[in-house]
Amino acid sequence: MNKEFRLKTKEGNFLNITAFGLEHINDLPCLILVHGFKGFKDWGFFPYAAKFFADKGYFVLTFNFSHNGIGLSKTEFEEIDKFAKNTISLEISELDHLINAYSEGYFGNHQFNEIYLIGHSRGGAVSILSSLINQKPSGYVVWASVAKLGRYTERQKEVWRKNGFIEIPNSRTKQIMRLDLSYLEDIEKNIYNSLNLEDAIKNLKKPLLIIHGEQDLTVPIAEGKQIFQWSNKEYSEMFTVPNTGHTFDVIHPFEGSNDKFDAVLDKTNSFLKKLYN
């Protein structure tokens, strides 16, 4: 059984959430799926993955960050003004709020089971960075995760500061989307503390599964290998998927899964089962 929720955050924003497998809410662990940059909870493989894990008995949450740009249509970037004002620190704070909401029974659970985070692309980095302020999750899975947040050249940053924004083309929608200077300033201000991904990974003393496509052109597999290199090998594992890219050959609108994404789901499921069995 699925249900929609709308959670008000401590910043006064709203997270639109879909809960899958409500009938399992007091049984197996809670999985929180975390989308990445220009991602959203109803993109491509997210509903399919959520149903996959709900069918395995998990209680699953998918959600939109408040400033990811998606409006009431659920699939269109109608809130470009909010997208422009988004920051990584805001996303970390919102994920922290969602984790706490589950642990406090917001979704109707009367007991607090283990929480596992599954983050795709930038959502992988946000998931790991959230461990610096919230220790409740018991394990982490990152799909095609970035290993660096500063992904812009000095020339791009110079233009960004001069104009007060940078333009980001969306190849799917053909929209030109903006990021305000606040996004860059957030990274530069916090890269050595709350946004220090290397330190967060090195200090993560919890199970971590890194899954990456070998032909990822958006986030090269070298970044997945970097995450694994930083990680504590006592807790971490890396799984590579051959002949596939950033979204494991899944597109939006969703047209079905494939053997590569099925391998991602099966590996994630087997990894999680070992944690709570």
Question: Residue-wise pLDDT tens for the chain (277 aa)?
Answer: 899 999 999 999 999 999 999 998 998 899 999 999 999 999 999 999 999 999 999 999 999 999 999 988 999 999 999 999 999 999 999 999 999 999 999 999 877 889 999 999 999 999 999 999 999 999 999 999 999 999 999 999 999 999 999 999 998 899 999 999 999 999 999 999 999 999 999 999 999 999 999 999 999 999 999 999 999 999 999 999 999 999 999 999 999 999 999 999 999 999 999 998 7
Which residue segment(s) compose the domain that 23 sits in? 3-149+194-276
Inside any domain, residue 167: no
- Residue among 120, 126, 124, 137 nearest 207 (CA): 137
Are 252 and 172 spatial neighbours (Cβ–Cβ below 8 Å)? yes
Q: CATH number, domain at 87?
A: 3.40.50.1820
Inside any domain, residue 180: no
Inside any domain, residue 102: yes
- Residue 85 is encoded by which pair of tokens? 């004002």
- Residue among 154, 153, 149 nearest 186 (CA): 149
- Residue among 66, 131, 128, 116 nearest 94 (CA): 66
- Using the Cα atoms of residue 111, residue 8, residue 84 and residue 248 in order, give the sign of their dihedral: positive
Question: What is the pTM for the complete model shown?
Answer: 0.98
At residue 50, φ and ψ (nearest 5 deg) are -60, -45
Domains identified in the chain, total number: 1
- Residue among 276, 264, 252, 262 nearest 40 (CA): 252
